[in-house]
């Protein structure tokens, strides 16, 4: 179970980098496109389309990391009042509901890709992208999400078997708005301190 | 039907099912209960269409823009420059806080990022200059909310996409209310300090020479603002394209400051995509839910029920405002937007209110939600930056600004032109 979990974490991190790189790349292509269009009345063509694919692929490949890091928003007003065992039960229920919805989306997404493949659909643009290509990568991201969700579920249920409710809450529990805020602050502070240090040295 | 839908949603949210999961589950339940057609068959196609919607591509761009700027050191320099320019008013640095938030807001689409960034830079100054800590904290929490009113704004993009409203028009409509609100926040500080001079700390003095020298530090935010908002206004770029230009400009500034490294890029990628995936998961589910509630006729049923109440347009508007102020105390703001706007906004539009104008009202209500307890994300952020004492200090310090925000909403109702003048001017 341990190595599998580490693999899930590595794959999810890779998903974030893939999505981030695609988003940055499409920002650059769109930026160049806007400048060329105005300055030389030229267009790269299809820059918008690439941005759309980057978002779809980035979203699908980022879902599992967001799940592992407990980033998906949950309303915790009542949750915080509950005892640990109830929280743990709700955590498992929440994970189930979330994965069920995106599992169903993934299931129907297979149909979407399949249809693009059989019809040989291409985008209606200068690029004429075979749609199955971006859709396929998108579907693979959803697949990674489901695999990670299943792994988390198995892990949580094993913990339930051991009556390790605290472990469950730590694995898939709600990150409270306060935790969320603390993270935001930590990254701002890390930058602040690094810059402060540099300025004192210079 | 309305009661059942509301009950299912409330129960799912109350037991802390992730918001995206709760919306998807509600959609599936409503489909099973009220429709003979298996609407879920459309889930794949809809998820794909939502995920590659070009308007929504602006969201990761703005998140990335913020992540890059955070690491470029721009905020520090900008704040220090503003401190030199604004020490003369009673309340001193607290005005610099609000001005810095307003200026940062012009480069950032997020209120949380604005409060965290300016808060981190500013909080070191409290003790140094003997300010009343509470009001000082309040200026940061409230000033931070300007992040989503002064364009660019992620919340305006979400509103625009959910209600089919022009995002460039929403941006333009936010500019003057944003400046007016920043002015009102400063006025709030001024009045508080005139009533109780003990609140303002020791004044900082700066020579004209120092002031002039600090001016170049105000350039980077101006460049970003011109790239993002100027390009839309000049007709060079669409809302999403302008966001891409913002990313390019931010990258250039970060490289120019020699802070662009592989490690920084990796952090930027991770931060950006985590937030993006989380936001998009909710939007994908919300789109499917909207499709289902429209198909089963729930939207029109809500519309009829409200029409039967026989409220005048302004009675309806005030009911909506009270609803959001109360809900905003308890609910996270993005979830609040996607859960309510598809139902509430059409009712408000049907009563004759302008979608662009109502978009600005909506943003002001979200800003209020961010600084009203018990759940107010900016309160938590500022308390987190402070790292000691009780959250009550931030809540009390922010309270005067809640009043200011509500006042701003009333002003905007009385004088809609404050928001509508710029978009109308641009439309010619």
Q: Which of A175-184, B156-165, B232-241 has the lowest mean pLDDT?
A: A175-184
- What average pLDDT score do residues B264-281 get? 92
Residues on chain B touching A189 (C-beta within 8 angstroms): 120, 385
3-state secondary structure B316-332: HHHHHHHHHHHHHHHCC
Question: Which of B70, B331, B334 has its CB closest to that of A188?
Answer: B70
Residues on chain A touching B274 (C-beta within 8 angstroms): 16, 62, 65-66, 69, 71
pLDDT given at position B396 = 95
The pLDDT tens digits for A113-171 are: 999 999 999 988 878 889 999 999 999 999 999 999 999 999 999 999 999 988 898 89
The pLDDT tens digits for B32-55 are: 999 888 888 899 999 999 999 999
Report the 10 Å Cβ neighbour count for A94.
23
What is the C-alpha to C-alpha distance for residues A161 and B272, in angstroms, rounded to an integer? 36
Q: Is the CB of A16 inside 8 Å of chain B's CB atoms?
A: yes
pLDDT band at A178 (very low <50, low <70, confident <90, very high): low
CA distance A151 to chain B (A): 18
Whether the per-residue pLDDT at B296 is higher than 80: the answer is yes
* ipTM for this model: 0.90
Residues on chain A touching B337 (C-beta within 8 angstroms): none
Residues on chain B touching A107 (C-beta within 8 angstroms): 44
pLDDT given at position A125 = 80
What is the C-alpha to C-alpha distance for residues B373 and B359, in angstroms, rounded to an integer? 23
Whether A17 and B270 lie within 8 Å, measured CB to CB: yes
Q: What is the DSSP letter of A130?
A: B
- What average pLDDT score do residues A4-9 get? 93
Residues on chain B touching A196 (C-beta within 8 angstroms): 76
The pLDDT tens digits for B249-270 are: 999 999 998 888 999 999 999 9
Whether the per-residue pLDDT at B29 is higher than 90: the answer is yes
- What average pLDDT score do residues B401-420 get? 97
pLDDT band at B143 (very low <50, low <70, confident <90, very high): very high
Whether the per-residue pLDDT at B272 is higher than 60: the answer is yes
Residues on chain A touching B70 (C-beta within 8 angstroms): 187-188, 191
pLDDT band at A202 (very low <50, low <70, confident <90, very high): very low
Alpha helices (H) along B226-261: 231-233, 239-256
The pLDDT tens digits for B221-253 are: 999 999 998 998 888 899 999 999 999 999 999
| Chain A CA closest to residue B231 | A34
pLDDT given at position B406 = 98
Q: For the whole model, what pTM was predicted?
A: 0.89
pLDDT band at B367 (very low <50, low <70, confident <90, very high): very high
Whether A104 and B40 lie within 8 Å, measured CB to CB: yes
Whether B284 and A21 lie within 8 Å, measured CB to CB: no
pLDDT given at position B428 = 66
pLDDT given at position A169 = 87
B221 CB contacts (<8 Å, ≥6 apart)? B74, B78, B103, B104, B106, B107
Question: Which of B16, B52, B245 has its CB closest to that of A55?
Answer: B52
What is the C-alpha to C-alpha distance for residues B349 and B360, in angstroms, rounded to an integer? 14
Whether A108 and B269 lie within 8 Å, measured CB to CB: no
pLDDT given at position A71 = 85
Question: Which of B14, B54, B121 has its CB closest to that of A78?
Answer: B14
Q: Which of A111-115, B90-94, B291-295 has the lowest mean pLDDT?
A: B90-94
| B111 neighbors B369 (Cβ within 8 angstroms) | no
CA distance A178 to chain B (A): 6
A46 versus B313: which is more confidently predicted?
A: B313
Q: Which of A14, A35, A51 to mutate to test the interface with B (most CBs of B within 10 A)?
A: A51
What is the pLDDT of chain A when averaged over all its residues?
Answer: 88
What is the pLDDT of chain B when averaged over all its residues?
Answer: 91
- What average pLDDT score do residues B95-124 get? 91
Q: Is the CB of A60 inside 8 Å of chain B's CB atoms?
A: yes
Whether the per-residue pLDDT at B126 is higher than 60: the answer is yes
* DSSP code string of B361-416: HHHHHHHHHHTSSSS-HHHHHHHHHH-SS-HHHHHHHHHHHHHHHHHHHHHHHH-T
- What average pLDDT score do residues B134-160 get? 95
pLDDT band at B389 (very low <50, low <70, confident <90, very high): confident
Question: Which of B15, B121, B270 has its CB closest to that of A16?
Answer: B270
Give CA separation, B7 vs B1, B201, B298, B309, B374, in Å: 10, 51, 14, 21, 23
The pLDDT tens digits for A64-83 are: 999 999 888 887 778 889 99
CA distance B116 to chain A (A): 6
Q: Is the CB of A46 inside 8 Å of chain B's CB atoms?
A: no
pLDDT band at B370 (very low <50, low <70, confident <90, very high): very high
pLDDT band at A1 (very low <50, low <70, confident <90, very high): low
Give CA separation, B108 vs A34, B68, B148, B223, in Å: 21, 11, 8, 13
Domain chopping of chain A, boundaries: 2-174
pLDDT given at position B403 = 97
Residues on chain A touching B18 (C-beta within 8 angstroms): 72-74, 94, 97-98
pLDDT given at position A75 = 79
Give CA separation, B309 vs B118, B302, B304, B341, B427, in Å: 45, 11, 9, 20, 36
Whether A55 and B280 lie within 8 Å, measured CB to CB: yes
pLDDT given at position A201 = 43
The pLDDT tens digits for B313-354 are: 999 999 999 999 998 998 888 888 998 998 899 999 999 999
pLDDT given at position B331 = 81
- What average pLDDT score do residues B100-117 get? 92
pLDDT band at A199 (very low <50, low <70, confident <90, very high): very low
pLDDT given at position A98 = 96
Cis peptide bond N-terminal to B374, omega within 30: yes
pLDDT given at position B87 = 65
Q: Is the CB of A108 inside 8 Å of chain B's CB atoms?
A: yes
Whether the per-residue pLDDT at A200 is higher than 50: the answer is no
């Amino acid at each position: 179970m341990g190595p599998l979990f580490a693999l899930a974490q590595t794959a999810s991190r890779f998903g974030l980098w893939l999505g981030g790189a695609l988003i940055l790349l499409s920002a650059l292509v769109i930026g160049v496109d806007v400048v060329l269009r105005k300055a030389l009345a030229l267009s790269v063509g299809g820059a918008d389309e690439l941005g759309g694919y980057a978002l779809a692929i980035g979203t699908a490949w980022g879902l599992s990391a967001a799940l592992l890091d407990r980033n998906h928003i949950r309303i915790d007003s009542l949750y915080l009042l509950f005892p640990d065992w109830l929280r743990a039960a709700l955590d498992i229920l929440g994970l189930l509901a979330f994965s069920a919805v995106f599992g169903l989306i993934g299931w129907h997404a297979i149909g979407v890709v399949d249809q693009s493949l059989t019809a040989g659909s291409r985008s209606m643009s200068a690029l004429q992208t075979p749609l199955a290509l971006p859709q396929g990568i998108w579907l693979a991201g959803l697949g990674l999400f489901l695999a990670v969700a299943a792994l988390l579920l198995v892990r949580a249920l094993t913990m339930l078997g051991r009556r390790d409710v605290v472990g469950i809450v730590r694995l898939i529990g709600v990150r409270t708005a306060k935790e969320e805020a603390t993270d935001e602050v930590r990254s701002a502070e890390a930058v602040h301190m690094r810059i402060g240090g540099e300025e004192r040295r210079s | 039907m309305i009661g059942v839908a509301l009950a299912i949603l409330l129960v799912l949210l109350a037991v802390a099912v992730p918001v995206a999961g709760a919306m998807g589950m509600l959609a599936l339940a409503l489909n099973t209960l009220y429709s003979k057609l298996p609407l879920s068959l459309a889930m794949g196609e809809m998820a794909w269409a939502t995920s590659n919607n070009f308007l929504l591509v602006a969201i990761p761009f703005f998140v990335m823009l913020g992540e890059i700027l955070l690491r470029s050191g721009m905020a520090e320099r900008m704040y220090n420059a503003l401190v030199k320019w604004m020490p003369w008013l009673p309340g001193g640095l607290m005005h610099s806080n609000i001005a810095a938030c307003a200026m940062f807001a012009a480069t950032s689409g997020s209120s949380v990022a604005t409060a965290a960034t300016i808060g981190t830079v500013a909080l070191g100054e409290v003790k140094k200059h003997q300010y009343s800590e509470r009001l000082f904290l309040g200026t940061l929490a409230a000033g931070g909310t300007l992040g989503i009113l002064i364009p660019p704004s992620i919340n305006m993009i979400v509103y625009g996409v959910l209600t089919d409203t022009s995002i460039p028009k929403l941006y333009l409509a936010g500019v003057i209310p944003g400046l007016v609100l920043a002015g009102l926040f400063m006025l709030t500080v001024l009045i508080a300090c005139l009533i109780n001079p003990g609140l303002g700390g020791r004044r900082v003095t700066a020579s004209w020479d120092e002031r002039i020298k600090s001016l170049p530090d105000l350039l980077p935010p101006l460049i970003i603002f011109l790239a993002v908002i100027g390009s839309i206004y000049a007709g060079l770029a669409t809302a999403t394209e302008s966001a891409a230009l913002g990313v390019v400009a931010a990258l250039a500034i970060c490289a120019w400051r020699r802070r662009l490294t592989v490690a920084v890029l990796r952090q930027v990628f991770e931060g950006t995509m985590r937030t993006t995936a989380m936001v998009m998961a909710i939007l994908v589910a919300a789109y499917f839910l909207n499709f289902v509630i429209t198909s089963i006729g729930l939207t029109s049923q809500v519309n009829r029920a409200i029409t039967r109440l026989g409220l005048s347009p302004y009675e309806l508007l005030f009911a909506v405002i009270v609803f959001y102020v109360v809900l905003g105390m308890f609910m996270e703001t993005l979830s609040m937007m996607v859960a309510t706007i598809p139902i509430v906004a059409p009712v408000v539009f049907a009563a004759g209110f302008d979608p662009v104008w109502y978009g600005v009202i909506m943003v002001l209500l979200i800003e209020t939600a961010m600084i009203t307890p018990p759940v107010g994300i900016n309160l938590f952020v500022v308390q987190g930056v402070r790292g000691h004492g009780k959250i009550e200090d931030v809540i009390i310090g922010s309270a005067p600004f809640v009043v200011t925000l509500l006042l701003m909403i009333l002003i905007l109702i009385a004088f809609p032109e404050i928001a509508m003048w710029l978009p109308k001017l641009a439309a010619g």
